[in-house]
Amino acid sequence: MELDRLKGVLRQNATPSAQRRENTAEHSWHLAIMGLVLEDQSPIPVDRVKVLCMLLLHDVVEIDAGDTFAYDHASHDDKAEREAQAADRLFGLLPSDQNVEFRAIWDEFEDGQTAESKLARALDRLQPILMNHRCGASSSWAKHGITKEQVLNRNREVEDLSAALWALLNRCCNEAVAQGFLKP
């Protein structure tokens, strides 16, 4: 029941199909299937179950810590501390063996050093780009006056993972600039 609360945490980006802000629960579902479908974009073979667990669990801390907008530098100052406290409380609701197991998976995602976490983190970057690209004038890019340079700088983890996904990300940005809802 505690997990139900993540359905009420709203992200900055919209969902183009539903024409409203996306919540973190449905974002996590979308990402998990992206992890399935795009696992071959990792240059190193990945453990599928670990990727799925990471993507399902990576944002549960937002139940307590809320969503931090990617381009809000002030809120990022204490993000790690707020999220670690949330992880203590939320994973702490589970029996101790599950607490230890799922907390380790969440920590591994945060650290971003393994093949699984590199794939998961890059997809977590890519997914809102795809949403914003499709949302056009109602995108969070348009709403907050974001520049292409900000998007590229913020999402280098995609470049580090996969040339194909980086090319896709660049195409989305270029089309958004041409259509006037992302600043050059």
| Contact positions vs a copy of itself (CB under 8 A) | 1, 3-8, 15-19, 22-23, 25-26, 28-30, 32-33, 36-37, 48-49, 52-53, 56-57, 60, 94, 98, 102, 130-131, 134
Cβ at position 71, least distance to a copy of itself in Å: 22
Cβ at position 53, least distance to a copy of itself in Å: 7
45's tokens: 């073979």
Cβ at position 130, least distance to a copy of itself in Å: 6
* CB nearer a copy of itself, residue 33 or residue 184: 33
Closest CA to 44 of 154, 167, 152, 161: 161
* CB nearer a copy of itself, residue 131 or residue 161: 131
Strands (E), 5-150: 10-15, 20-23
Q: Which helix (DSSP H) or strand (DSSP E) does residue 133 occupy?
A: helix 115-135
* CB nearer a copy of itself, residue 26 or residue 183: 26
Cβ at position 73, least distance to a copy of itself in Å: 29
What is the C-alpha separation between 138 and 168, in angstroms, rounded?
A: 21
Residue 149's identity, in one-letter code, is E
Closest CA to 128 of 7, 19, 31, 5: 31
